[in-house]
Amino acid sequence: MATNTLDESLVKHIKENFTDYTYDMFMMNMSADLEEMELFSEYVDILNEKKIYTFEAARSGTQGPETDLSRANGDVVHVVNLSSYNYLGFSYHPDVIKAAQDAVAKYGLGASSSPVISGTYLVHKQLEQALVKFFDLPDRGVSLFTAGYSVNLGAISAFIKPGHQVIMDSASHMSIVEGAKLSGGEMTFFRHNDMAHLEELLKEKCDEFTRVLICVESIYSGDGDYGNLKEVVRLAKQYGAFTLVDEAHSALVAGENGRGVCEQQGVLADVDLYVMTFSKAFGGVGGAVYAKKEIVQYMNWYARCRMFSCALDPAVTGGMTKVIELAGGPLGAERRKRLKSNATYFRNLLNGKVKLSEGDAWVVIVHFGAESKTIGLNDYLQRSGLDTSIIQFPAVPRNEARIRMFITSEHTEAQLKKAADIILAAATKFDFLLK
């Protein structure tokens, strides 16, 4: 790679101090050249030369409880897979695969058009109807999107206009933040799960002339804790605001019937915009907004990232329709129960030994602190037989880097015990055991 535009002393510094460099250091550049891109490429090359680059490792099979990773340097490692959010194992269920195969045989590989032109097939309508039936609110409809990220981007930017207000939890996913930016509305953050702070902002922002949308998550993927949806809905009603709840990590999983934390906390019928992604427990890709029919109809046309995107591909759509059928039956109930049992078992293995996220969710967070540990720690975990999701600044506050692990219903206790042992060994080596 050409480096003639780079400061050679800076390249030398990266080579000698590569563990001190973090993701955020390559994000900014005020000049016209491409220095930040060239420097990042140099950084990745250095990590590969030292055989410690752990990202973008290719999986050799399904996102099951164990898998083989082919790393960029050519190494192949066998790991317990705690980096995939395929919570109920439906992505590789034989009935789901068969439904996807049947759909692609009938409709072809892609939709080949925007959903409002010629990209909507019968299989899309079947998925919409299956979702409405599953969530069991007859006045609601479904707007389908091709990516979970696009759902928040499109829903917020269609619902909110310049002059309106978006009030977000400070731990909100970037898709919520960017949806708010795209909307042109005024953006305000309240402290994470701080209902008193939220109420202060509602008192300030709400009046009879201004539309206000409160955006929260059911399970915060960077923190592993639950949103206080019941109190959010109560405050929204009191001050005349609307609510958006992102159920990405809990749809099909939480609640007695798998209808999410909204069901679990008794507010499913009160939430205005229920957002779900199909890449988590559904085991597919894409997402949807579940809302009153007139809101859904409007979003179908005015959510620009939906209007100007190709519709969901038929194969995934057919497979997810089968997933909803399975999730709503005995198999879904059985897997939800096993998932929660697995999460409790795994947490108990680590509790009191490392700093864990609060609660009992299947997103388990272990804090390790400094971003400078990330590269070495992730390499150690993979080589020891564990694949996780490492998150660091700017996704979380500086010096609050953490290991994020997704438990599934399909993990065995033996696999979870092995994973916990590796985490504790890493905590000793990288100095994040509780004192």
Q: What would the pLDDT profile of 291-305 be if each residue is shown by its tens digit?
A: 999 999 999 999 999
Please identify, among 299, 327, 355, the residue that sits at the C-terminal boundary of a domain: 327
Examine residue 135 and state whether it is found in any structural domain, yes or no.
yes
Which 3 state secondary structure label does DSSP give 51? coil
**One domain for residues 177 and 301:** yes
Give dist(CA 72, CA 207) in Å, integer: 55
- Flag whether pLDDT at 409 surpasses 90: yes
What's the confidence (pLDDT) of residue 136? 94
Cβ-in-10-Å burial (0-12, 13-18, 19+) of 316 comes to: buried
CA 318 from centre of chain: 22
**One domain for residues 226 and 257:** yes
25 vs 149, residue with greater confidence: 149
Mean per-residue pLDDT, 146-159: 96
Mean per-residue pLDDT, 163-189: 96
* Residue 10 neighbours by CB under 8 Å, 6+ apart: 39
**One domain for residues 320 and 344:** no
* Beta bridge partner(s), residue 81: 387
In the chain, the number of structural domains is 2
**One domain for residues 391 and 299:** no
Q: What is the pTM for the complete model shown?
A: 0.92
CA 23 from centre of chain: 19
Give dist(CA 271, CA 302) in Å, integer: 21
In DSSP notation, 376-391 reads: HHHHHHHHHTEE-EEE
**One domain for residues 340 and 319:** no
Mean per-residue pLDDT, 188-208: 96
Average pLDDT across the chain, whole number? 94
Examine residue 68 and state whether it is found in any structural domain, yes or no.
yes
**One domain for residues 196 and 280:** yes
Report the 3 state secondary structure along 135-197.
Answer: HCCCCEEEEEECCHHHHHHHHHHHHCCCCCEEEEECCCCHHHHHHHHHHCCEEEEECCCCHHH
Give dist(CA 15, CA 6) in Å, integer: 14
CA 180 from centre of chain: 17
Q: What residues make up the domain containing 314?
A: 93-327
What's the confidence (pLDDT) of residue 7? 76
Angle at 219 between CA 232 and CA 420, to 5 degrees: 150
What's the confidence (pLDDT) of residue 78? 96
Please identify, among 296, 327, 358, the residue that sits at the C-terminal boundary of a domain: 327
What's the confidence (pLDDT) of residue 393? 85
